[in-house]
């Protein structure tokens, strides 16, 4: 007892201090609540009406649950007799909630796990059977049913998680005190909003051990800095490569550490790489439009690259919303006779949002009006809100895993560069973000010829006739591959589609040395993505060399390597620059 007393006292004192601070913060932030902020009232009423109109379906659902429970009892009975068979339900592949052997070895915890998995599967399948609901309502109910099911997992509670119980017993509850203190610290850091720590943020520093590829900022304006990376080969391809990253996140997802940096790898292949580093906007940039990201981002970058290299023709990469911007800008440039871009690569980028996945559950007229009201107060959407939205798409991996690790086990999260980047929030300017959500996600107008105009120019994506390489990821929850694939039916240029393994980030950041995930290729481009996959060839390892084999054919001859600052643009500061630290 005496050994633990100083630590116990310290924890209790810190908890008391944090609790008092949080209470005062919440008193100052009290507002009248929005009684239905998720706009669930209408779809839930529609689901209730569907159930009432089809009582036989309710009876069938109850019978289905009864049959599943009988199967569970049979499994547990045989296991009690020492004759275990296959469990009724297996956790999804990659599910880390039930990793501890105690979930299988101890009968009571196996009962809890199997009862939970059986019931959760039953709940989600019943939502899928509500055929009278329209697609958006059914998707919204299914999404929040899954959130509810994820939250109720026995792994999330002290008394039903064997690993937490063992730790609590061995530490005499000190782990729970540490967890409570960490919970209060995260609430204080978020000023009352829970910002779960996913990694030790003190273990990383931009420009020191992430975003370290050598280069320099050679151009800047109020919206972006343009970084030119130093060559690592004696000769380079004639045409430079310009990367347009999303402004929803910081660009250095493409330059985490040398072992997994796409930028460094591209430089090693002999490309002169330029990357746009977007500013983290504040209230002063609230009126910036989607077109401003084209003019002050892409187009000014193209002008600067020509000054820096003397080369007018450029290859491009657009990542996520950066790819959506690139597609719209290519149509705008085609209409204006601007042919400076020789080829375009798209990383997980959507242009047809009709199958945009779970993010659509957050976007309808009701929720958009609420978001507009929120952004009007400060002129931007704060990064924490956007981050929570994305984390909810993979709640088990990005929320509940850390709830258990941090708050129940009382452990510091591991050091992980990807999660440090994920916690490096960015803001979104009000005017641009409302336009993007309404015209792309809500009304899907970008895919319609002339559906949107940019500075008076009607945008028609079908006019894009340059060589195109489209990368998508098979397990992407943010830009699902059926949605990304739709672009293959729109562009009129020679188009290559490649499907990578894994998700929105790991599917892109997959260096060859890791030899992970694999990818699929198919020269045919049928209308149905499932038909494409059925005829595709699978390849082991990273897709990066496949893309390099495609791009070098678009990149011209080899010339002596270029150094930042050796032509008309002087070096402003070393990479990664000031903007990425903001």
Q: Which two tokens stand for residue 418?
A: 């990807």
The predicted structure's pLDDT at residue 27? 43
Q: Give pLDDT, residue 17.
A: 63
**What is the pLDDT, as a whole number, of residue 21?**
60
Residue ranges of domains in the chain, CATH in brackets: 38-172 (no CATH), 215-362+425-581 (3.40.50.1820)
Q: Where is 429: in which H helix or E strand?
A: strand 428-429
DSSP3 helix / strand / coil % (the chain, rounded to 5):
50, 10, 40
pLDDT: which is higher, 518 or 12: 518
- pLDDT, tens digit, for every residue of 365-376? 888 998 999 899
The answer to which of 82-86, 133-137, 375-379, 471-475 has the lowest mean pLDDT is 133-137
pLDDT at 3 over 60: no
Q: Which residue's structure tokens are 């100052």?
A: 28
Give me the pLDDT at residue 479, please.
Answer: 95
Question: Which positions are catalytic?
Answer: 320
Quick count: other Cβ atoms within 10 Å of Cβ 52?
A: 9
pLDDT digits (tens, 9 = 90+) for 486-516: 999 999 999 999 999 999 999 999 999 999 9
Residue-wise pLDDT for 459-475, tens only, equals: 999 999 999 999 999 99
Is 50 a residue whose pLDDT tops 90?
Answer: no
For 153, list phi and psi in degrees, rounded to 5: -55, 135
Q: Which residues contact 324 (CB under 8 A, 6 or more apart)?
A: 318, 349, 350, 351, 436, 440, 446
pLDDT of residue 49: 75
Mean pLDDT, rounded, for 316-323 = 98
Tell me which DSSP letter residue 384 carries: H
The half-sphere exposure of 440 on its side-chain side, counting CA atoms within 13 A, is 22
CA dist., res. 582 & res. 574, Å (int): 16
Residues 6+ apart with CB under 8 A from 256: 210, 211, 417, 418, 421, 509
pLDDT at 387: 83
Please say if the pLDDT value at position 315 is more than 50: yes
């Amino acid at each position: 007892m005496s050994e633990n007393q100083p630590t116990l006292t310290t924890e209790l004192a810190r908890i008391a201090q944090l609790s008092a601070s949080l209470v005062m913060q919440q008193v100052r932030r009290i507002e009248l609540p929005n009684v239905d902020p998720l706009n669930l009232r209408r779809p839930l009423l529609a689901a209730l009406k569907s159930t009432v109109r089809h009582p036989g379906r309710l009876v069938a659902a109850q019978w289905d649950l009864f049959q599943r429970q009988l199967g569970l009892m049979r499994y547990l009975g045989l296991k009690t007799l020492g004759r275990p068979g296959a469990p009724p339900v297996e956790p999804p592949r990659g599910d880390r909630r039930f990793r501890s052997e105690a979930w299988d070895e101890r009968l009571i915890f196996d009962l809890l796990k199997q009862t939970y998995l059986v019931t959760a599967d039953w709940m989600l399948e019943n939502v899928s059977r509500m055929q009278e609901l329209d697609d958006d309502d059914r998707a919204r109910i299914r999404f929040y049913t899954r959130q509810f099911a994820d939250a109720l997992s026995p792994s999330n509670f002290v008394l039903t998680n064997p690993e937490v119980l063992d730790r609590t017993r061995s530490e005499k509850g000190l782990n729970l005190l540490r967890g409570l203190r960490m919970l209060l610290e995260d609430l204080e850091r978020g000023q009352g909003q829970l910002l779960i720590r996913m990694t030790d943020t003190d273990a990383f520093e931009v420009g020191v051990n992430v975003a370290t590829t050598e280069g320099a900022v050679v151009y800047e304006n109020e919206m972006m800095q343009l970084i030119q990376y130093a060559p690592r080969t004696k000769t380079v391809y004639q045409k430079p490569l310009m990367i347009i990253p999303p402004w929803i996140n910081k660009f250095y997802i493409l330059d985490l550490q040398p072992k997994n940096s796409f930028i460094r790898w591209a430089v090693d292949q002999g490309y002169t790489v330029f990357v746009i580093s977007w500013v983290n906007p504040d209230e002063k940039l609230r009126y910036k439009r989607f077109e401003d990201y084209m003019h002050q981002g892409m187009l000014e970058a193209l002008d600067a690259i020509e000054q820096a290299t003397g080369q007018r023709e450029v290859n491009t990469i657009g990542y996520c919303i950066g790819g959506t911007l690139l597609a719209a800008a290519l149509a705008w440039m085609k209409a204006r006779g601007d042919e400076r871009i020789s080829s375009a690569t798209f990383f997980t980028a959507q242009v047809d949002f009709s199958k945009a996945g779970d993010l659509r559950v957050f976007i309808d007229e009701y929720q958009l009006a609420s978001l507009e009201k929120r952004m009007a107060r400060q002129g931007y959407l704060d990064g924490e809100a956007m981050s929570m939205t994305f984390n909810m798409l993979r709640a088990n991996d990005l929320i509940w895993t850390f709830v258990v690790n941090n708050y129940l086990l009382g452990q510091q999260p591991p050091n992980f560069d990807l999660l440090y980047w994920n916690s490096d929030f960015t803001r979104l300017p009000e005017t641009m973000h409302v336009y993007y959500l309404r015209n792309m996600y809500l009304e899907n107008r970008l895919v319609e010829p002339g559906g949107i105009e940019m500075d008076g120019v009607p945008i028609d994506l079908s006019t894009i006739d340059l060589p195109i390489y489209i990368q998508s990821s098979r397990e992407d929850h943010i830009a699902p591959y059926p949605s990304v694939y739709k672009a293959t039916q729109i562009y009129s240029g020679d188009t290559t589609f490649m499907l990578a393994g894994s998700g929105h980030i790991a599917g892109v950041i997959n260096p060859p040395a890791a030899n992970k995930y694999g990818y699929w290729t198919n020269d045919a481009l049928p209308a149905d993505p499932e038909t494409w996959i059925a005829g595709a060839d699978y390849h082991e390892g990273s897709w990066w060399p496949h893309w390099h084999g495609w791009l070098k054919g678009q990149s011209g001859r080899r010339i002596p390597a270029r150094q930042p600052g050796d032509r008309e643009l002087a070096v402003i500061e070393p990479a990664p620059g000031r903007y990425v630290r903001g």
